[in-house]
Structure 1
Amino acid sequence: MPATLVDSHCHIVFRNFDDDIDLVAQRWRDAGVRRLVHACVEPSEIPAIRALADRFPELRYSVGVHPLDTEHWQSDTARVLRQAAIDDPRVVAIGELGLDLFRVRNLDEQLAVLVPQLDLAVELDLPVIIHCRDAAEPMLDLLRDRASDQRCPRGVMHCWGGTPEEMAGFLELGLFISFSGTVTFPKAEATHACARVVPADRFLVETDCPFLAPVPRRGKRNEPAFVAAVAARVAELRGESLEQVAQTSSANAARLFGLGLDSV
């Protein structure tokens, strides 16, 4: 019997899953994946993600706008996201939101999209799924400022790739840290160091599929079943068993997102 796992961040709405989604689902079930959290990158995805949740009862999802998709933010987007979250109890987070200064340097534009989503998460008492690439300093500055007057939502740093020092800053804000297939990459030394020292009650595992397939499938399409390889590498780095890491990360995900694993 495989260990119980939660893929805390995936994107199976993408077209490269159209032809074999039922086989993909069978593989994640065979691998012990009991819950999936499907991240949203822009509002037009929401109906298709909702349809996937209708089809696969283990799926929960977020609603939000990715920092590299700021062109999808319109005058009514906050209202659209708010209504989508209110209408469906399977919406367990706001996001994927955040800052990405790796590809573009439009910080002000990204902040203009990020801040109202943080406000929405606080209003609805939902966690946030944070994408943060080459932007730890401005993200920490923003969240610390908001924490000073209780406007920093709970949430998770998705697909963690920062340093232990940066991780410490986000942990101080009460955030969780999620490890993806990058933790299996031989040269991801900072990520390895973070996985070793992150507190047991504050880490998750994810695939971010179809991206970032773990070793030995690197460069191929990723899928939720492969979260087992992520958990196995985290276990190796922490000197723990796969069963320990699976149990701990799943309990953490259930606590953060209110997943109710007992009902699956």
Structure 2
Amino acid sequence: MSRPFFIDTHCHLDDEAFAADREEVLARAQAAGVAVCIVPAVSLENLPAVVALAERHPGIYAAVGIHPHAAATCTPEGLRRLRAWARHPRVVAIGEIGLDFYRDLSPREAQRAAFRAQLELAGELGLPVILHQRAAASALLEELERWVAARPPARGVLHAFSGDLGMARTAVAWGFALGIGGPLTYRSAEGLREVVRAVGLPALVLETDAPYLPPHPHRGRRNEPAYLPRIAEALALLLQVPTDEVARQTTENARRLFRLPDR
């Protein structure tokens, strides 16, 4: 019997936290069955590093985008650069993009403008989107509804999903997946567990968001892709299905969403 095969749909392997042992982190991921990782950019500055990682490692793919914290850089020139990088053969999505009204490190209207522009770019290039949302659920859905209506079919994932059941059902009905990571294992995450039970495996993809949001019992440490099976095990227990089935279904969901080749 073959071992489970996992796809980490969101991990920041270019982060400085992995500078000292990145190759060892990748080896541990492979040993744990995490054979594919998608690494999203968060700014124009880290685009080259993200794409270079994908060029060097056959199991890594890149996403390119401007995070809402850096919305001011989403100028016409910034979008031109982003479009050029998005055409790279190792790029599979536009992301990490979205809205963050919690930290408000960029003016909200600037965030919305950058978000709209990058949604349009994704639609133009036929790429899915990787979406960041914090304290901005209604605004995000408002922008997405406009995009979905204008450019069907839309594709994407609500990364580190933290919305309520209504938001989840709306996003899934529009064709989006929910990114499920370490918070599923936290005692305080009963709301997330309610969402997961309601939408089921066909709507879910797995992620670590490494080096952030490590699952229990690794909280307080640096997260890494090798911990993804722990999230799958928690999901299997919650849905009362075998871990192998979680691996199979979420891997297929990720392959279909990002148009990844078979292993």
TM-score, with normalisation over the residues of structure 2?
0.95
**Structure 1 residues 149 and 85, CA, compared in 2 at 3 Å: closer, same or farther?**
closer
1:72 deviates by 3.0
1:152 deviates by 6.8
Give the match for residue 202 of structure 1.
203
Deviates more, 1:113-122 or 1:171-180: 171-180
Aligned residues with identical type, % of pairs:
36
Give the match for residue 175 of structure 1.
176
Give the match for residue 154 of structure 1.
155
Give the match for residue 90 of structure 2.
90
Equivalent residue letter for 1:144: E
Cα displacement string for residues 132-159 of structure 1 (whole angstroms, at most 9, x for unaligned residues): 1111111111221232333673101011
Distance in 2 (alpha carbons) for counterparts of 1:157 and 1:62: 14
Equivalent residue letter for 1:145: R
Distance in 1 (alpha carbons) for counterparts of 2:111 and 2:174: 21
Give the match for residue 103 of structure 2.
103
Distance in 2 (alpha carbons) for counterparts of 1:110 and 1:126: 20
Equivalent residue letter for 2:151: Q
Give the match for residue 251 of structure 1.
252
Distance in 2 (alpha carbons) for counterparts of 1:198 and 1:38: 26
Give the match for residue 164 of structure 1.
165
Deviates more, 1:253-262 or 1:5-14: 253-262
Equivalent residue letter for 1:137: S
Give the match for residue 52 of structure 2.
51
Equivalent residue letter for 1:149: A
Deviates more, 1:190-199 or 1:121-130: 190-199
- 2:72/2:110 contact within 8 Å kept: no
Distance in 2 (alpha carbons) for counterparts of 1:4 and 1:148: 35
Q: Where in structure 1 are there 5+ consecutive unaligned residues? A: none
Equivalent residue letter for 1:99: L
Equivalent residue letter for 1:18: A
TM-score, with normalisation over the residues of structure 1?
0.95
Give the match for residue 216 of structure 2.
215
Give the match for residue 241 of structure 2.
240
RMSD: 1.4
- 1:118/1:152 contact within 8 Å kept: no
1:42 deviates by 0.6
- 2:119/2:147 contact within 8 Å kept: no
Give the match for residue 261 of structure 2.
260
Q: Where in structure 2 are there 5+ consecutive unaligned residues? A: none
* Greater than 3 Å deviation, 4+ residue runs: none
Equivalent residue letter for 1:231: A
Distance in 1 (alpha carbons) for counterparts of 2:148 and 2:63: 22
Give the match for residue 66 of structure 1.
67
> In the alignment, is residue 32 of structure 1 matched against residue 40 of structure 2?
no
Give the match for residue 190 of structure 1.
191
Name the count of aligned residue pairs.
Answer: 261
Equivalent residue letter for 1:29: Q
Deviates more, 1:197-206 or 1:127-136: 197-206
Deviates more, 1:251-260 or 1:64-73: 64-73
Distance in 1 (alpha carbons) for counterparts of 2:54 and 2:151: 32
Distance in 1 (alpha carbons) for counterparts of 2:76 and 2:120: 15
1:117 deviates by 0.2
Cα displacement string for residues 79-106 of structure 1 (whole angstroms, at most 9, x for unaligned residues): 11111111x2110000100011111183
> In the alignment, is residue 135 of structure 1 matched against residue 156 of structure 2?
no
1:261 deviates by 2.8
Cα displacement string for residues 22-42 of structure 1 (whole angstroms, at most 9, x for unaligned residues): 111110000001111101101
